[in-house]
Amino acid sequence: MIRAGDEDGDRWDRSRRIRWLDMERVQAGRYLVLGAGALGNEAIKDLVLAGARNITLVDMDHVVRSNLNRCVLFREGDSAGKRWKAEVVAERASDLDPEVRVRAVVGRIEQLEDREWKEHDVVLGCLDNIAARLHANAHAYYRGTPYIDGGTDGFAGRVQVIVPPSTPCLQCGLNKSHYKVMEKRYSCTGSEITYFRPSMAAEITTTSIVAAVQVREALKIVCGRKDAVIRNVVHYNGVRNSWDELEMSIEPSCPLHVSHS
């Protein structure tokens, strides 16, 4: 006998009512999230609540107090204790859903083993510098793994979905100014190289919106709806509350596309 309210016992009942959203695929999907800052916090939160079970999270930084105004999974004690961002997010994700497995990798994405790129179904870039984005773009593209890049600057944001080999990649849209930024770097002690990155304006509403779009596109991919993903680059203007789509084409001289032709 089915009684009124029985459907409320199913954690995923409301999600199952979306016809194309295949919860079995969502739960079986393997997600690689790069960056555990503001975008990474929101992306992990959304992935876990959406039903993701297998997530790898990579970040090299520890929590600082200025993170707390836009990182939903961080607490005052995390900044005071200088805890690693990836480990904190992985711990708090299990509070949202005890069945989720978030593997925290503390380190630079450049140190990821090659197998990490091919063992995941989709990569979400929640990064804050061009060099790291290009590294993620190149390695994901080479392995044929879809890459979803997100970025914010104050009330502005952008999302680009790269599905090898059919869509333009991140490198296709670079211009001279991007390369100039990458050239501005300084050497620390030893062999570590840190790219120059001035502090940028950031606030939670834009971060939430951009990360939500990234996760929604990831869900489309794991559910077999690549036909419905963003094909160009979308830009969000939080002041005007508007979205604009910038059409992009594959750059014929892009080395990533040349290697796939």
pLDDT digits (tens, 9 = 90+) for 7-50: 788 899 999 999 999 999 999 999 999 999 999 999 999 999 99
Count of Cβ atoms closer than 10 Å to residue 255 Cβ: 12
HEC assignment per residue over 169-225: CHHHHCCHHHHHHHHCEEECCCCCEEECCCCCCECHHHHHHHHHHHHHHHHHHHCCC
Asked whether residue 82 is assigned to any structural domain, the reply reads yes
**pLDDT reported for residue 89:** 98
Domain that holds residue 152: 16-172+202-249
Task: Answer positive or negative: Cα dihedral of 226, 232, 233, 236.
Answer: negative
Asked whether residue 187 is assigned to any structural domain, the reply reads no
Count of Cβ atoms closer than 10 Å to residue 61 Cβ: 15
Asked whether residue 167 is assigned to any structural domain, the reply reads yes
- Match 């990649």 to its residue by tokens: 169
Note whether 129 and 185 are within 8 A (CB).
no
Asked whether residue 193 is assigned to any structural domain, the reply reads no
- Provide the domain count of the chain: 1
Count of Cβ atoms closer than 10 Å to residue 218 Cβ: 27
Asked whether residue 20 is assigned to any structural domain, the reply reads yes
pLDDT digits (tens, 9 = 90+) for 175-205: 644 444 444 443 333 344 454 456 788 899 9
In angstroms, the CA 53 to CA 81 distance is: 28
pLDDT digits (tens, 9 = 90+) for 48-106: 999 999 999 999 999 999 999 999 999 999 999 999 999 999 999 999 999 999 999 99
Note whether 257 and 172 are within 8 A (CB).
yes
Asked whether residue 244 is assigned to any structural domain, the reply reads yes
User: What is the domain-level CATH number for residue 56?
Assistant: 3.40.50.720
Q: What is the pTM of this model?
A: 0.89
Task: Give 5's pLDDT tier (boundaries 50, 70, 90).
Answer: low
Asked whether residue 80 is assigned to any structural domain, the reply reads yes
Asked whether residue 2 is assigned to any structural domain, the reply reads no
